């Protein structure tokens, strides 16, 4: 693993982007903050804590999914992967460097939602550690999905619509801004929840609602969601590793 390459790439394509293009930060926060406002108004503040916890998850997951546009642009337009093929950079190095850059890009949004969570007394030592775990595993799994998608796209103009639609389906429809118990009993006991768990945002949101005390404590459900997150992250990352186009024909 080329840690030096991963660090420098994440610095240039993550931290430096925050300085060069602050408008992108505002754009990445627009949807989750808008949904937070809508939830607050419609529920008269009753579900605002759900929306704050879910907003953090939505922010990270949407940035990871929409990164497919960057991966596609670099592969098809800049042809940057062709340069890395001839170097010591491996596909894993490249994927991790992109993933870490997206995580770095998420820092302003993490700070905003961290402040909101603190204001509503959602964070203590343990919940903070658990949210850090969710952020890390979400950026890995959603970035892996973005690489899978980008490897299938043949023209860069097609990727923007795909990522926009996919981001909404995989971050807004799951129970990120509302209690997951609303879905219980649909398609059988927790059947709909497991179906929606194809999106990493679903098990992250369900486990967060339980761990943060927003829903009644359910150890079995919590551990099931954690296992789903870990397994699907490994699966998505493995698929991305072996299917991502590293050499263009």
Q: Taking the domains of the chain in order of start, what are their residue ranges?
A: 3-243
Rounded CA separation 48/157 (Å):
37
Q: What is the pLDDT of residues 114-134, one digit of tens each?
A: 999 999 999 999 999 999 999
Rounded CA separation 61/135 (Å):
8
Residue 149 has pLDDT above 80, yes or no: yes
Rounded CA separation 90/232 (Å):
22
What pLDDT, on the 0 to 100 scale, is given for residue 150?
A: 81
Residue 9 has pLDDT above 90, yes or no: no
Q: What is the mean pLDDT of residues 190-199?
A: 87
The phi and psi torsions of 185 (rounded to 5 degrees) equal 95, -15
Reduced to 3 states, what is the DSSP secondary structure of residue 153?
Answer: coil
Q: What is the pLDDT of residues 50-70, one digit of tens each?
A: 999 999 999 899 888 877 877
Percent of the chain with pLDDT over 90: 35
Residue 85 has pLDDT above 70, yes or no: no
Confidence of residue 200 (pLDDT cuts 50, 70, 90): very high
pTM of the predicted model, to two decimals? 0.88
Rounded CA separation 147/220 (Å):
32
The phi and psi torsions of 89 (rounded to 5 degrees) equal -75, 125
3-state SS of 15-28? HHHHHHCHHHHHHH
Rounded CA separation 124/205 (Å):
18
Nearest alpha carbon to residue 134 among 23, 233, 41: 233
Q: What is the mean pLDDT of residues 39-48?
A: 89
The alpha carbon of residue 18 and the mean position of all alpha carbons in its chain are separated, in whole angstroms, by 18
Q: What is the mean pLDDT of residues 216-244?
A: 89
Reduced to 3 states, what is the DSSP secondary structure of residue 35?
Answer: helix
Rounded CA separation 111/32 (Å):
14
Residue 248 has pLDDT above 60, yes or no: no
Helix (H) or strand (E) holding 161: helix 159-171
Q: Are 98 and 9 in contact (CB under 8 A)?
A: yes
């Amino acid at each position: 693993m080329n840690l030096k390459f991963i660090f420098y790439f994440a610095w240039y394509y993550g931290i430096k982007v925050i300085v060069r293009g602050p408008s992108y930060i505002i754009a990445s926060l627009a949807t989750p903050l808008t949904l937070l406002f809508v939830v607050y108004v419609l529920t008269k503040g009753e579900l605002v804590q759900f929306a704050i916890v879910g907003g953090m998850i939505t922010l990270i997951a949407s940035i990871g999914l929409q990164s497919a546009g960057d991966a596609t642009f670099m592969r098809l337009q800049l042809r940057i992967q062709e340069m890395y093929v001839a170097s010591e950079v491996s596909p894993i190095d490249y994927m991790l460097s992109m993933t870490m850059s997206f995580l770095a890009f998420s820092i302003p949004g993490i700070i905003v939602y961290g402040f909101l969570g603190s204001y509503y007394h959602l964070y203590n030592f343990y919940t903070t550690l658990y949210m850090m775990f969710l952020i890390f595993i979400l950026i890995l799994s959603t970035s892996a999905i973005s690489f899978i998608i980008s490897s299938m796209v043949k023209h860069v103009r097609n990727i923007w619509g795909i990522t926009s639609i996919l981001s909404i389906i995989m971050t807004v429809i799951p129970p990120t801004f509302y209690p997951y118990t609303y879905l219980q009993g649909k398609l059988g006991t927790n059947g709909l929840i497991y179906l929606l768990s194809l999106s990493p945002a679903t098990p992250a949101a369900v486990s967060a609602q339980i761990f943060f005390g927003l829903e009644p404590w359910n150890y079995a459900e919590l551990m099931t969601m954690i296992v789903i997150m870990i397994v699907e992250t490994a699966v998505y990352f493995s698929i991305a590793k072996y299917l991502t186009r590293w050499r263009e024909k």
